[in-house]
Amino acid sequence: MININWMLIIRILMAKGYTQKNLADEIGVSQPYISELLTGKKFRLEFAAGYRLTKLLSDKDYKRLVIKALNVKCQQKKMSSK
């Protein structure tokens, strides 16, 4: 299982011009929930909301995040096998 870094995804989208309110409206959660994801108070998103959030990313950004997550997973396996 790959852990998704929602905070990073939200920051990428906000750098592209989305506001917390825009993101909340797009994925069907409240603006305070987006804020809690950004501050680290919340870590999880319902599958449908997470799917909608990743669909807002460009293909280039999405591929970069997946590659980063896979690299982290590989590093964790290497560390656990030592």
Count of residues making up the chain: 82
Residue 71 to residues 2, 25, 30, 40, 58: CA-CA distances in angstroms? 10, 32, 32, 22, 20
Model confidence pLDDT, tens digit, residues 55-78: 998 888 888 887 877 787 777 777
Q: Residue 46: inside a domain, yes or no? A: yes
Q: Residue 18: inside a domain, yes or no? A: yes
Q: Residue 43: inside a domain, yes or no? A: yes
pLDDT of residue 28: 95
Q: Residue 1: inside a domain, yes or no? A: no
Q: Residue 39: inside a domain, yes or no? A: yes
Q: Residue 57: inside a domain, yes or no? A: yes
* 1 pLDDT more than 70: no
Residue of 57, 37, 58 whose CA lies nearest to 46: 37
Q: At what angle do helices 47-55 and 6-15 cross, to 10 degrees?
A: 30
